[in-house]
Amino acid sequence: MNFIIQFVNSLTSGGGAYQFLNHILNGISLGSVYAIIALGYTMVYGIAKMLNFAHGDVIMVGAYVCFYTFGALRLPGPLAPLLAVCAAAAVCTLLGVTIEKLAYKPLRSAPSLAVLITAIGVSYFLQNAALLLWSSSPKVFPNFFVLRTVDASGETAVLRSIQFGSLSISFVTIVTIVSCIVIMLALTWFTGRTKMGKAMRACSEDKAAAQLMGIDVNATISLTFAIGSGLAAIAGALLCSAYPNLVPTTGSMPGIKAFTAAVFGGIGSIPGAFLGGLLLGVLEIFAKAYISVQLSDAVVFAVLIIVLLVKPTGLLGRTIREKV
């Protein structure tokens, strides 16, 4: 009841509408990051039928590579951030393929529990490797998305947001939302129109039948890990630009929440991952703003439980009937 009263008061008070819109935009921005990460989860599960719980730590590796590449380049303008993100995507793509080859491919026909335990082991390995390589001291991630202008006096001013009255929209928010939409549309086109995308869909339906039709299942699964890990690097750069504290455990909670978003929307569905990520982000921001910062995660997971009790396959998931 207190939540409802606080929510109504915020809308009716002066500036309450702008505050509400700010929460909506922040939620969509955070949800867009979750959606990009969830797309990696949902692709791997849709093709390989496995949950890669090391995916969150690939985000962390991408953020570190991006951080150190940006610091080493020192190029003017937007070139340094762009090259840093490309370098992070390349490293994470290679890392994702390596993890699949060394850790998951030998367990292709193993019980799902063995794969799950291996994924958790890979996650802890990446976290401890990052701890040894980069130490546990927090790094302050640079904000890539700023606009530098020169005023009449010749001094350089740094703009981080656009103002519309009392409404402030940061450049990070704009870039994150646009990136998420472009990635989701590109993946939808790729899986629906390209030869390799159709091979992925065939493998998700029946790997044995796809192999009989001449599809290289191993190469298809490796490509899926490569795409998902590359997306994780982009998500890491976007996440740390908005929340600049970078430590070896940075990707753990966003990875869990992105998996929650994938399940929420219907794991295995690209539009479902997109929708689940956005809804989860908005829900988390509203829970922090109107209920409690400490209880926001509990509220998010409680809503997930309720949704799955009503619709076990998620919002856009489809029920698969098995013949016996």
- Is residue 13 domain-resident? no
Q: Are 319 and 268 in contact (CB under 8 A)?
A: no
Whether the predicted pLDDT of 306 surpasses 70: yes
Identify which has the larger pLDDT, 211 or 16.
211
Q: Give me the number of domains the chain comprises.
A: 1
In a domain, 303, yes or no: yes
Average pLDDT over residues 191-201: 89
Contact of 314 with 46, CB cutoff 8 Å: no
17 within some domain: no
The residue segments making up the domain with residue 40 are 24-310
Q: What is the pLDDT of residue 8?
A: 47
Lowest mean pLDDT among 90-94, 215-219, 248-252, 291-295: 291-295
Q: How confident is the model at residue 164 (pLDDT cuts 50, 70, 90)?
A: confident
Spatial distance between the Cα atoms of 53 and 167, rounded to a whole number of angstroms: 37
Q: Would 271 be classed as within a structural domain?
A: yes
Q: How confident is the model at residue 15 (pLDDT cuts 50, 70, 90)?
A: low
Give domain status of residue 250, yes or no.
Answer: yes
Cα 38 from Cα 266, distance rounded (Å): 10
Categorise residue 57: left if φ over 0, alpha if ψ from -120 to 50, beta otherwise: alpha
Beta strand 167-170 with 161-164: parallel, antiparallel or unpaired?
antiparallel
Q: Is residue 15 part of a domain?
A: no
Is a pLDDT exceeding 80 seen at residue 321? no
Residue 107 lies in a domain: yes
- Band the pLDDT of 91: cuts 50, 70, 90: very high
Q: How confident is the model at residue 157 (pLDDT cuts 50, 70, 90)?
A: low
Q: What is the CATH number of the domain that holds 33?
A: 1.10.3470
CB atoms within 10 A of CB 293: 9
pTM, whole model, 2 decimals? 0.88
* Residue 320 within any structural domain of the chain: no
For residue 11, the 8-state DSSP code is: H
Buried b (16+ CB within 10 A) or exposed e, 42-65: bbbbbbbebbbbbbbbbbbbbbbb
